[in-house]
């Protein structure tokens, strides 16, 4: 009888210890998540309070209104949005066919191209601008004057993010099977890309586009070096004289970016759900 009690005791204690460990793990997880949320949202709340308030007045839009009076913020914001769209479209047009070719015809080069895509992280922006400026000054002097000369620079800057997002999406597909099935049905290469591959890469394309747009919307160094007027340059100029207005603009920019991300993500998930339902 005593032997049975000794053997039953560990069996009873084991679930209790497992429950205690699970409870401790849940508490630790909750604490970590709460700390992360606090560290993420506290600066945003502080920025909003600083940007939309004045001592003794409380909430007010006067700093923002005074800083934007007589400025061309609309034109600068439009310039940045155009650059974001053109840079994103150029990166997708360049990288999607390149990655498809590498995965289908030259998989041995993928390791080299992956290493090559990290080069923009190694080369500083000022070195990139200085080298390109010397080259184009001799070949095409008027190119660097144009606002759209920023597009190739932004494509280079966003290359590591866009490359990895698209590469991960392609690796998740059975690309060779899809391509072979499309060819067996008589589809041409461009038809296979448009009607077979791209619909299955919707998530990767959306993620790459969001990353590219987010980086372009916040890029300041290259635009300032080339003396172009973009929205980040405008915010820095405003912040030199009106720090509260710059804080308010930064907060509004973050909210607008979140809203854009939510709309695009919702539209992408809605299309996927509808497509899955039709099946």
User: Distance (Å, rounded) from C-alpha 73 to C-alpha 70?
Assistant: 9
Determine, yes or no, domain membership for 125: yes
Q: 277 pLDDT exceeds 60?
A: no
Sign of the torsion formed by the C-alpha atoms of 171, 177, 179 and 182 = negative
User: Distance (Å, rounded) from C-alpha 201 to C-alpha 206?
Assistant: 8
Q: Are residues 80 and 161 in the same domain?
A: yes
Q: Please say whether the beta carbons of 151 and 90 come within 8 A.
A: yes
pLDDT-derived band of residue 56, with 50, 70 and 90 as boundaries? Answer: confident
Mean per-residue pLDDT of the chain: 81
Residue 233 sits in which domain range?
A: 73-265
184-223, pLDDT tens digit by residue?
A: 888 888 888 888 888 888 888 888 888 888 888 888 888 8
What are 229's two structure tokens? 């007027």
Question: Could you tell me which residue, 8 or 249, shows the higher pLDDT?
Answer: 249
| Mean pLDDT across 85-110 | 91
Q: Are residues 94 and 37 in the same domain?
A: no
Determine, yes or no, domain membership for 47: no
With H, G, I as helix, E, B as strand and everything else as coil, classify residue 54: strand
pLDDT of residue 279: 37
234-258, pLDDT tens digit by residue?
A: 888 887 888 888 888 888 888 887 8
Determine, yes or no, domain membership for 4: no
CATH code for the domain in which residue 261 is found? 1.10.3720.10
Question: Could you tell me which residue, 132 or 1, shows the higher pLDDT?
Answer: 132
User: Distance (Å, rounded) from C-alpha 162 to C-alpha 256?
Assistant: 22
Q: Are residues 172 and 223 in the same domain?
A: yes
Q: 3 pLDDT exceeds 60?
A: no
Q: Are residues 143 and 185 in the same domain?
A: yes
Domain count for the chain, please give it. 2
Q: Are residues 112 and 205 in the same domain?
A: yes
Beta-bridged to residue 213, according to DSSP, are none
118-138, pLDDT tens digit by residue?
A: 888 888 777 888 888 888 877
Phi and psi dihedrals of 58, rounded to 5? 75, -145
């Amino acid at each position: 009888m005593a032997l049975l009690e000794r053997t039953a005791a560990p069996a009873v204690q084991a679930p209790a210890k497992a429950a205690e460990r699970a409870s401790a793990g849940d508490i630790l997880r909750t604490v970590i998540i709460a700390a992360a949320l606090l560290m993420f949202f506290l600066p945003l709340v502080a920025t909003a309070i600083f940007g939309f308030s004045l001592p003794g007045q409380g909430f007010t839009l006067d700093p923002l209104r005074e800083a934007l009076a007589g400025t061309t913020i609309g034109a600068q914001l439009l310039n940045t949005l155009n650059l974001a769209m053109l840079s994103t479209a150029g990166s997708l047009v360049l990288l999607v066919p390149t990655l498809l070719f590498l995965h289908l015809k030259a998989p041995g080069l993928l390791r080299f191209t992956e290493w090559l895509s990290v080069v923009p992280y190694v080369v500083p922006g000022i070195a990139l601008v200085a080298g390109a400026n010397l080259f184009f000054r001799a070949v095409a002097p008027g190119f660097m004057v144009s606002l759209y000369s920023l597009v190739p620079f932004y494509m280079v800057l966003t290359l590591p993010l866009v490359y990895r997002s698209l590469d991960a999406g392609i690796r998740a597909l059975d690309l060779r099977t899809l391509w072979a099935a499309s060819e067996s049905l008589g589809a041409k290469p461009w038809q296979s890309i448009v009607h077979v591959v791209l619909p299955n890469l919707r998530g990767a394309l959306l993620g790459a586009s969001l990353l590219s747009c987010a980086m372009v919307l916040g890029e300041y160094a290259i635009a300032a070096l080339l003396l172009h007027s973009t929205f980040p340059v405008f915010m820095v100029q405003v912040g030199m004289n009106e720090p509260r207005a710059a804080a308010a603009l930064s907060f509004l920019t973050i909210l607008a970016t979140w809203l854009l991300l939510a709309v695009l993500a919702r539209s992408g998930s809605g299309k996927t759900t509808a497509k899955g339902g039709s099946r």
